[in-house]
Amino acid sequence: MSTDQALRPLPPTRSASVVFAAGAVIGVLGGMIGLGGAEFRLPLLIGAFGFAALPAVILNKAMSLVVVLVALPARLAAVPAAEVAARWPVAVNLLAGSLLGAWAGASGPCACAAPPSTGCWRH
């Protein structure tokens, strides 16, 4: 990781309790709408907690995976399996397209070591 992407130290006002509270609010909001909270967490990682964009995206994805896995049992209990199974073609095709799109996006032009002057958001 280059020095321009290095993690900046937390400002002194960002105590562990503030970070924990932000996580709790994100968890509640994500739980209310049924998502992993990434859409709320990423702006905080970058803006409030000083992460560079690429490390924030990577950490955010990892945290979303854990959150979704923890919430999965409750979601499975709330939605009948027959309802999900009836729509399996949509789910399989959406998943396949998402996986292909994620791979293409992660390996596209900005995935290389392009200099920041190229406008790549990852730098």
**In this model, does residue 14 exceed pLDDT 80?**
no
**Average pLDDT for residues 92-108, to the nearest whole number?**
87
Residue 108 DSSP symbol: S
Matching residue, tokens 């280059």:
2
Statement: the pTM of the whole predicted model exceeds 0.75: no
Supply the mean pLDDT for the chain.
Answer: 79
Tell me the C-alpha to C-alpha distance, in Å, between residue 64 and each of 35, 41, 78, 92.
8, 9, 20, 20
* pLDDT above 90 (res 3): no
Give the integer Cα–Cα distance in Å for 13 and 15: 6
pLDDT tens for each residue of 53-72: 889 999 999 998 888 888 88
DSSP code of 79? S
Per this entry, what is the length of the chain? 123
Give percent of the chain above pLDDT 90: 12
